[in-house]
Chains A and B, each alone.
Chain A
Amino acid sequence: MTSLWTFFQELFRLCTPITILNILWAATFGMVVGMLPGLTATMGVALLTGLTFRFMPDQAMLILIATYVGAITGGSRSAILLNIPGTPANAASCLDGYPLARQGKAGYAIGLAATASAIGTFFGLLCLATISPLLGKIALKFTSWEFFVLAIFGVVICANLTAPKDPLKGWVAGLFGLLLSQVGQDPIQAFPRFTLGSLQLMGGFSLIPIMVGAYGVGEIVSVMRSPINYTVKTHIQRIIPALSDLLRNWKHILRSGIIGVFVGIIPGVGEDTAAWVSYDFAKRAAKKPELFGKGSIEGLIAAETGDNACIGGAIIPVLTLAVPGSAPAAVLLAAMWLHGIRPGPLLPIEQPTFIATTTAVFFLATLAVTLLSLMFVRPMVKVLEVPRSILMPIVFVLCGVGSFAINGRIFDMYLMFLFGLLGYYMRENNYPAAPLVLGFILGPMADDNFRRAMIISGGDPTPFFTRPICLILWLATILAFLSRSGLGNLFRRRLGSHA
């Protein structure tokens, strides 16, 4: 009851003209970024992190969350109209959204996707408000041993789920991210590690240039690569969906919402996995699964509800454990650090109203994105007609400003470019970027807590394997590892031959 009261207090406090203005432009910006094929929510949020550095923390969070929600919602536009997902989270929406557009129902599909997205986001919001305080209480039991194992668990599970066909490459990316985070002065003895005598590397690599480079620059190059430029040709008519279509599919909406939130809570996995899993479950449960992929309303609703519900889910571990649930949530976490907010188990003690503030911000962002996504479909779709040869250099210029703004160092722009090269190389060679980023974020947590724990136990590693939460996390990590490593198959074959 106290939490609900605090939520309303924060909501009323935030309802000012400046807030409304910020939320509207940020939601529009997010939707435009999401709509443009290749530009992702992560890139949009990373870009604005640098640019909103001088804003008040609550306004900065508001802008970033509105961009995040806007991008995931807006991505369905290009998926439906061009059959090219605006963000990876909307890839599953192509399967039924595009066939619907080909049947002359583009406007209806967009309206349906926007409504399903809104329902999904509100579901995620509800879970954020209810689960965060509960998880926060469990998180208070976490000490150095648990945090170290949690970091390992996060990287392994993220690598498994973001590289399902080749998890080895996911692990390589995760380990590389963990190693990159070790550059700079170590957190206990302040010993400079791998700095090669460079003063610029004393503080380590900054997260924003790495993320903007890996996601933003890599994406610009991917978008510009093809000589063929696809444009919108479908005419948009009716937009608002029939209420009966939504009521008829309440089971798909509820199931996808739960899946979205659950996938969101898993470290580093994110919206694309949530959308695919929701889509797959909806297909299995559908009365006419043969319609999936040919313009099924259920398929579109499931994918869009799942990916948007994931947003709320991904923010839950950010607030309670300081572990991001998705790549855009990782940037949100970095933005919180930049603004002096320290998410984690101690957050409710150090900043008692912050979870309520975030929930209120999320609520306002969802409201703005829902209204904008249903009201301005036609003018927003016009953005897809701007030639990419004009749009992409603008994006690169903004990437540069975003990378430079935080520390005011040109070195960070060089880093952004180099990580752009790396991001493109990784993309071309099927290495997922998410474990790299998650590893980079969790690296200091793993290093600091591992050594702290070893100092406390006098060099004895047994508590890592005997404490109950550690045991559960190790078990989950080992199961995830075995299920993908090929060793699992070997065991199954051996068992099969013995039987």
Chain B
Amino acid sequence: MATSKKLWGGSWLRRKDIYSAIGVMCIAAFFLLGTAFMPWKGVGFTWYSAPGLVPAILAFLLFLSGLLLFLRALFNRRFYARLATEETGGPPVEDDGQEVAAAKDLPPLLQSERWRVILVFALCAVYIFLLIGRLNYILATTIYMAAFIWIFKGGEWYKSLLVGLATAVAVWALFYKVFAVILP
């Protein structure tokens, strides 16, 4: 435990940077490895015009940047301390308490930022990967819209359904019929 505290230095951003730096290095390594399997000499080209040359240079530079990020996150605590003190913004949003009170009336799941993000991504993923292409476009869009509005307390189920259907029909009529845009 003490080791991990020492490693992370208690900084949330530092920890996130360590993870993202590892991710960046892995991506760069994948691309670098990919270039190794490309031809470097062939009919009509030599190493300096090979298809893998530019990707190899870029992947190497990306790996280097990831490594720098990793080393900085591990050893440069002062940088993160400075970042934390430099956080500035505009004047704070003034509320009269109504919005905060309305937020407190939401179910516990919708009060958590993390769960809200997961819910949005989950709903969008269901729409893109499961509904679109398998169901009729209007039906798929109505289901997605109605579910989104209902889950995020935009209205009762019948209102959600009505708004969903109206949106789906409007998008279909406007883009498919008027603009002749193909729809999934």
Contacts and interface: CB of A to CB of B under 8 A. Distances in A.
Contacts of B184: 400-401, 404, 410, 413
B54 interface: yes
Nearest to B44: A189
Interface stretch (A132-140, A171-179, A251-259, A321-329): A171-179
Contacts of B52: 193
Nearest to A387: B154
Contacts of B54: 182, 446-447, 450-451
Interface in A222-247: 224-231, 233
B86 A179 contact: no
A51 B181 contact: yes
Contacts of A421: 121
A451 B183 contact: no
B62 A225 contact: no
Interface in B89-129: 90-96, 99-100, 102-103, 106, 110-113, 116-117, 120-121, 123-125, 127-129
A225 B42 CA distance: 53
A29 to B, nearest CB: 12
Given A225-B117, A447-B54, A400 B149 contact: no
Interface stretch (A335-343, A389-397, A469-477): A389-397
Given A98-B91, A455-B48, A393 B99 contact: no
Given A175-B61, A394-B145, A54 B180 contact: yes
B45 interface: yes
A488 to B, nearest CB: 15
Range, interface on chain B? 35 or more
B132 A410 contact: yes
A227 B128 contact: no
A99 B16 contact: no
A156 B158 CA distance: 52
B152 interface: yes
Contact of A397 (B16, B144, B154): B144
Contact of B48 (A193, A221, A401, A454): A454
A228 B103 contact: yes
A410 B31 contact: no
Nearest to B21: A172
Contacts of A166: 83
B171 interface: yes
Given A227-B106, A429-B20, A451-B48, A91 B90 contact: yes
Given A165-B83, A414-B129, A221 B120 contact: yes
Contact of B152 (A52, A224, A430): A224
B93 A179 contact: no
Contacts, number: 203
Contacts of A447: 54-55
B90 A417 contact: no
Most chain A CB within 10 A, of B46, B86, B90, B128, is at: B90
Given A172-B69, A293-B91, A400 B61 contact: no
Contacts of B120: 220-221, 224-225, 392
B10 interface: no
A420 B72 CA distance: 27
B145 to A, nearest CB: 5
Contacts of A220: 120, 124
Interface string A387-428: 101101110111011001100101001101100110010001
Given A82-B93, A229-B99, A176 B27 contact: yes
A240 to B, nearest CB: 26
Contacts of B46: 459
A191 B68 CA distance: 32
Most chain B CB within 10 A, of A188, A396, A447, is at: A396
A83 interface: yes
B160 to A, nearest CB: 9
Nearest to A394: B167
A51 B132 contact: no
Most chain A CB within 10 A, of B17, B58, B145, B182, is at: B58
Most chain A CB within 10 A, of B51, B52, B61, B145, is at: B51
Contacts of A465: none
A454 B154 contact: no
A266 interface: no
Interface string B20-41: 1000100110010010001100
A454 B75 CA distance: 40
A175 B58 contact: yes
Contacts of B27: 176, 179
Given A175-B65, A405-B182, A417-B124, A194 B34 contact: yes
Given A228-B95, A228-B99, A168 B179 contact: no
A27 interface: no
What 4 A-B pairs are tightest by C-beta distance, nearest first? Answer: A389-B154, A389-B152, A393-B148, A191-B51
17 contacts: A54-B179, A168-B65, A169-B69, A171-B65, A175-B61, A175-B62, A176-B27, A179-B55, A188-B49, A193-B51, A194-B55, A225-B113, A389-B148, A389-B153, A397-B144, A421-B121, A429-B16
Given A396-B124, A454-B49, A455-B49, 15 more contacts: A176-B62, A191-B38, A193-B38, A224-B120, A226-B116, A390-B149, A392-B120, A393-B145, A393-B149, A397-B168, A398-B171, A400-B184, A401-B175, A417-B128, A450-B54
Interface of B: 13, 16-17, 20, 24, 27-28, 31, 34, 38-39, 42, 44-49, 51-55, 58-59, 61-62, 65-66, 68-69, 72, 83, 86, 90-96, 99-100, 102-103, 106, 110-113, 116-117, 120-121, 123-125, 127-129, 132-133, 141, 144-145, 148-149, 152-155, 163, 167-168, 171, 175, 179-184
Interface of A: 50-55, 82-84, 91, 94-95, 98-99, 102, 165-166, 168-169, 171-172, 175-176, 178-179, 182, 186, 188-189, 191, 193-194, 217, 220-221, 224-231, 233, 293, 387, 389-390, 392-394, 396-398, 400-401, 404-405, 408, 410, 413-414, 416-417, 420-421, 424, 428-431, 446-447, 450-451, 454-455, 459
